Amino acid sequence: MENLNIGILSKRKTMMAGKLKSCLKNKGFNISIYTLENLVINETLLNHDFYILKSKSLFFLYAGFFLEAKNKVVIPKPQISFIQKNRIQSHFLMRRIGLLTPEIYLGTQETLKNQLDPNEYPFILKPIMGSGSKGVKVINSHEEINSENNAITYLEKYIQGIHYNVYFIDEKICTLIKPPLANEHVDMKKIETPNDVKELIFKWKGYFKGNLLFGHLDIVREESSGNLYVVDPGSFPEFTNWKCDSSPVESICNLIIDNYRKTKDN
């Protein structure tokens, strides 16, 4: 087995990044984790064979784009991670693919406050650049929109229904019921994956033509219609609630190494 030098771009050295490092070290590879404390985007990064892009924070995405420009393999691809980080891009991409997503509203807070129909509430306020539940909150009235802030604001129509957290690693799918707006670390109940959820996941993965090795989608089954709405994609979750067979870390490491070797062979 070749002695690969692998870099991991991550906000932290613990959690999934630490588990990936341990798994890959056990396979005989040399692993370095780059956080804000030691990451400088320059030629010194080119000493590694390839990189794992764990974080979708912009600085780490910039590092990924730099490395790709220098012909280094980065997994997942920075562009795929960026699309899932940017809620506007991911919204219109999913619409183009044919997936249902909630209606969105963009504008300054004063404009939104003046133009939104009071009968349309509630909405979900989300950061434009982000994923998961960080910075997400329910807006129930005009009064909850801070009209003193003139920044562009992203609102999403709230879908009433059952909330799913759906992980996928290669062909394996693990579906859980989650509390609305909760992050992936709260306790969740595993259920058998409904057929329409499977079809949705494969449709999403299929668009990326084999380059989406793992990830998750937050999905809501609308109470009134039973339709599935995708409310958030994630390119590299922690897989905290993975409750299916096999270790998610081992599976992800194997997928990454196989993907790197296929890329180099091509």
Query: Topology of 5-75 in CATH?
Result: Rossmann fold (3.40.50)
Q: Which CATH number fits domain 160-234: 3.30.470.20, 3.40.50.300, 3.40.50.150, 1.10.3720.10?
A: 3.30.470.20
pLDDT tens sequence for the chain (266 residues): 578 999 999 999 999 999 999 999 999 999 999 999 999 999 999 999 999 999 999 999 999 999 999 999 999 999 999 999 999 999 999 999 999 999 999 999 889 988 999 999 999 999 999 776 778 999 999 888 876 667 899 999 999 999 999 999 999 999 999 999 888 999 999 999 999 999 999 999 999 999 999 999 999 999 999 999 999 999 999 999 999 988 999 999 999 999 999 998 87
Sorted by where each begins, the domain ranges of the chain are 5-75, 104-157, 160-234
pTM above 0.85, yes or no: yes
Strands 123-126 and 73-75 come out as unpaired
Tell me the three state secondary structure of residue 166. Answer: strand
Q: Which of 95, 60, 91, 61 is nearest to 78 (CA)?
A: 61
